[in-house]
Structure 1
């Protein structure tokens, strides 16, 4: 079967998204390195921070589209660094809730400042409408895949 014009365009978008993901991870590593972090650790802590309450490893993995085992390894590293704590989960005794510690919150504040400066520079010359249109398209494609 041959791709339609829309299929060709979406394939190009997917390939560019793969390249963008690599660049974003590299930029995230550079951004978080001064705080002793990596993109992967920031991503896990960001899921908890965005949700505004502690989450299980499985919940973090689902929200971020990551493998549960990988998230567990990162949570273990973050716990060893004192950036997260594990809390009892009344709903599931074998799946503790991962919470950001006070130290972790301070790190997230510093990363947030660095990210704001970086993203504001990156967004220069792009209209909010164009960015939101691109976001909606990516959300639609992700939804169809899910």
Structure 2
């Protein structure tokens, strides 16, 4: 199962590289920008939602801010952990990808079928919370063998 998930992740990353080609966004920048598209989040919050480390997302977030695609906002809940939010330019960059992503998604749906997509999504929606519930134990076991 794990190797299958790795291969699927590789497939989606390769597809995302194609979808973002010529857009001015990399796959990583698209992912982080998309993570804060609907609401500003701390970098740590975005990283948690994406299943990545804070440091990885921090590097991408800083690049997005430097390029004017995102900005840091004060966080009323935490003095040091600022909120990451898209700028108008960042919102336009994401919206520019929508037609391409929609067409590709429809092609995937036609190729694979709605039932298979639903089944895979349902499986992931059940598997992920179950694994996260015992994450520390499983990661410890993976490190110690």
| Shorter-chain TM band | 0.7 to 0.9
Partner of 1:58: 44
2:32 & 2:100 partners in 1: Cα distance? 18
| 1:122 pairs with one of 101, 108, 121 | 108
2:139 is matched with none
**Shift, 1:139, TM fit:** 1.7
Q: 1:130: Cα distance to partner?
A: 2.7
SS in 2 for 1:133: helix
Q: Distance in 2 between matches of 1:34 and 1:118?
A: 16
Q: Return the alpha-carbon distance in structure 2 between the equivalents of residues 57 and 31 of structure 1.
A: 24
Q: 1:90 aligns with which of 66, 70, 76?
A: 76
Tell me the equivalent position of 1:46: 34
In the alignment, structure 1 residue 102 sits paired with structure 2 residue 88: yes
Residue 31 of structure 1 contacts residue 115 of structure 1 at CA under 8 Å; is this kept in 2?
yes
What are structure 2's unaligned runs of at least 5 residues?
Answer: 133-145
**TM-score normalized by structure 2?**
0.86
Note the aligned Cα RMSD (angstroms). 1.2
Gaps spanning 5+ residues in structure 1: where? 1-12
Deviations 1:42-88 (A, max 9, x none): 11111112xx2100001000101011000000000001111001100
Distance 1:19 1:130 in 2: 17
Q: Is the 8 A contact 1:29 1:37 kept in 2?
A: no
Aligned to 1:139: 125
- Counterpart-to-counterpart distance in 1, 2:93 and 2:13: 18
Give the Å deviation of 1:125.
Answer: 4.2
Counterpart-to-counterpart distance in 2, 1:125 and 1:114: 17
Match of 1:111? Answer: 97
